[in-house]
Structure formats: C-alpha cells, structure tokens
Amino acid sequence: MTTMTDGERKAVALDYLMRLDRGEDFFELFDDNIEFMFPKVGVVRGIDATKEAFGRVASLLQGITHDGAYFNYVVNGDTVVVEGTSSGTTADGVEFRAGVTHAGRFCDVLEVRDGRIHRLFVYLDPDYAGADTERYPWLREGATVEVAS
C-alpha cells in the first residue's frame, strides 16, 4: 500500500472521467475487485461485472462529455466525491445538456487507494432523453419546464 494525497486521489477521479469522455481505456484505473453502482443497473462486484455494466450503460449513449472545469470535489480519506454536469447524445439521437434539459447532472462517489478505483457509485437520472413521461408527465413535449442552470 502507498499513501496517496488528496490531490492524487482527485487526479485519479478526473482521469477516469476524461478517459470516459475520450473513449479511452479507463478500466485499467479500476481495482480487480471494484464495486460499481449505476441507477437501474444496481451494484456489481469485480472488474468483469463492471465492464458488463458499463456496456449496458454505453448502449444508451452515442457520446457524453463531462464539464471538468466546473466539477465540485469533496475529498475525505480514500473517498472522492465529484459533482458535475455533462452533455451528450443518446443512442436514439436525443441531445441532453445540464441546465438546458433535465438530464446532465451527476454525482460520483469513488474510493481511491493505491492509485486505483476500488468503489464507484454513480448517482444521476439515467433517463437522458426524458422519455419516462408516463410517470413524469411534465417531461412530455410542450410541457412548461423551467430548468435552472
């Protein structure tokens, strides 16, 4: 085990998100026994299960970009919390952008030890396109929604 600084832990979290945006390999940043959670996927354990879960999530999107310049970080011991915004396009071609549509805000909670991510829990609304109008009628086209930026 090596001792990491808060800045080093924060850098690993940022590296993960930027690699994700660029379509680069980010799995090498993960510990083999990673615990991963994504809404509507649930909690999975281990690198193989995490890769499978990311494949499911990736099938929802053509692309995504996280706005790294505007992240809020909280670092406490091994825990790094990253709150931020993103934009992108769904697999069906629907564009989303935090502050413009309802989607695009996220909060990731990571545990970083020895330069590797051991736990990653992602908190966001996975309905990037706002298609869940049956349960949330205010998302229907033509509905008046004021979105704070």
Q: What is the mean pLDDT of each run of 10 residues along the chain (149 residues)?
A: 90 97 96 97 98 96 94 97 97 94 95 98 93 85 54
Domain 6-81+102-126 has CATH 3.30.70.2190: no
Q: How much is the pTM?
A: 0.89
Q: What DSSP string runs through 25-59?
A: --GGGEEEEEEEEETTTEEEESHHHHHHHHHHHHT
Give me the pLDDT at residue 116, please: 98
Three-state DSSP at 56 gives helix
- Measure the CA angle with vertex 85, ends 115 and 63; round to 5°: 80
- 132: amino acid identity, one letter: D
> 118 — alpha (psi -120 to 50), left (phi > 0) or beta?
alpha
Domain ranges of the chain: 6-81+102-126
